[in-house]
């Protein structure tokens, strides 16, 4: 009788530990969903808005990697690879991202088409659509507990779903106004797996100032963004990008209404570019990590 009680208690402890672990993992995952790669604000806007694909013409490839500085077990890591090719008034792109947070693996592969409409010599309208697949899995091999839990099997049986983003933008006379509807699968309500804590849309307004040669060709670009969140308050991002030596070097900073900040720099040498970005974490997550660091590599042809 005592042994049976002990066995039942041990099972309960395992299930409780599994529930706590999943809660922590989903908390990290929700934070990743609400916190785009920082390169999306200045270095690679295509990451968050398909209308920005091929905006500068030519062919480009960008790789981003983000990881927490003092990682706890199961901490978030994220990689993203984008490629764009511009031709005439249009461009095609590929946006591949992979997130890992504890037991969760989230892979998103999107193909994009953007059309850049010339209104006059200085003004353009941009439209972009990304469509692809989203796949979320729990890594059963990493589970320390009851790996046969039926909830885990049900989670993995859901399979991949069709997903995408749609974006528009206006550029001209130093001004950029843009907006994007994100996570179209959830927006169209075809999949009931995510009911809250995901990004619904992104908007941004920025203006580039060229200070002229008397100030060393320094450029200033203040930017104000607003990101919608399902079943939660939206997030405001405000920042400034400063460029030097004809855009060959830049530094920038952003403050987010989620009570965290982002700081970064970028270097361009011929067709190559490199960036390093630090982001603090919102106050609610400060007990788990000191923030994360993001590295970026780019190639322009």
CB neighbours of residue 34 within 10 Å? 18
Tokens coding 103: 């037991």
Pairing of strands 59-68, 249-256: unpaired
Q: Which residues pair with 169 in a beta bridge?
A: 126, 178
Quickly state the pLDDT bin for 110 (edges 50, 70, 90). Answer: very high
Tokens coding 163: 């997903």
CB contact set of 152 (below 8 Å; sequence gap of 6+): 138, 140, 143
CB contact set of 192 (below 8 Å; sequence gap of 6+): none
Per the structure, the complete domain to which residue 67 belongs is given by 2-300
Closest CA to 76 of 227, 300, 294, 301: 294
Tokens coding 9: 């208690």
Which residue has 């989230």 as its token pair? 106
Q: Tell me the C-alpha distance between 127 and 178, whole Å.
A: 10
pLDDT given for residue 19 in this prediction: 45
Q: What is the mean pLDDT of residues 213-236?
A: 89
Are the C-beta atoms of residues 250 and 241 closer than 8 Å to each other?
yes
C-alpha triplet 73, 234, 182: angle, nearest 5°: 80
Q: Tell me the C-alpha distance between 152 and 157, whole Å.
A: 9
Task: Write down the pTM of the prediction.
Answer: 0.85
Over 198-233, what HEC string results? CEEEEEEEEECEECCHHHCCCEEEEEEEEEEECCCC
Question: What is the number of structural domains in the chain?
Answer: 1
pLDDT digits (tens, 9 = 90+) for 65-97: 999 877 666 778 899 999 999 999 999 999 999
Q: Is the pLDDT of residue 276 over 80?
A: yes
Q: What is the mean pLDDT of residues 55-69?
A: 93
C-alpha triplet 259, 285, 15: angle, nearest 5°: 150
Long-range contacts of 157-160 (CB under 8 A, 24+ apart): 158/193, 159/135, 160/133, 160/134, 160/135
Q: Is the pLDDT of residue 17 over 80?
A: no
pLDDT given for residue 91 in this prediction: 98
Which CATH number is 73's domain given? 2.40.160.40
Q: Is the pLDDT of residue 197 over 80?
A: no
């Amino acid at each position: 009788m005592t042994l049976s009680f002990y066995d039942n208690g041990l099972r309960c402890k395992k299930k409780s530990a599994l529930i706590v672990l999943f809660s922590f993992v989903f908390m990290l995952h929700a934070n990743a969903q609400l916190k785009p790669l920082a390169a999306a604000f200045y270095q690679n806007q295509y990451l968050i808005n398909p209308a920005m694909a091929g905006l500068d013409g030519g062919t480009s490839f960008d790789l981003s990697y983000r990881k927490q500085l003092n990682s706890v077990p199961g901490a978030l890591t994220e990689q993203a690879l984008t490629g764009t090719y511009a031709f005439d008034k249009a461009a095609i792109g590929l946006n591949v991202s992979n997130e890992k947070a504890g037991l969760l693996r989230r892979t998103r592969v999107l193909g994009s088409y953007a059309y850049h409409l010339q209104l006059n010599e200085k003004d353009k309208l941009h439209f972009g659509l990304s469509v692809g697949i989203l796949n979320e899995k729990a890594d059963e091999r990493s589970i320390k507990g009851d790996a046969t839990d039926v909830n885990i099997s049900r989670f993995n049986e859901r399979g991949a779903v069709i997903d995408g983003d749609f974006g528009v933008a206006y550029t001209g006379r130093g001004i950029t106004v843009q907006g994007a509807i994100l996570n179209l699968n959830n927006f169209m309500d075809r999949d009931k797996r995510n009911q809250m804590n995901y990004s619904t849309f992104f908007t941004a307004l920025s203006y580039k100032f060229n200070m002229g040669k008397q100030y060393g060709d320094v450029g200033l670009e203040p930017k104000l963004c607003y990101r919608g969140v399902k079943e939660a308050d939206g997030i405001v991002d405000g920042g400034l990008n400063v460029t030097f030596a004809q855009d060959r070097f830049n530094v920038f900073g952003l403050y987010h209404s989620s009570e965290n900040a982002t700081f970064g720099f970028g270097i361009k040498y011929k067709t190559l570019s490199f960036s390093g970005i630090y982001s603090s974490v919102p106050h609610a997550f400060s007990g788990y990590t000191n923030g994360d660091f993001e590295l970026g590599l780019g190639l322009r042809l």
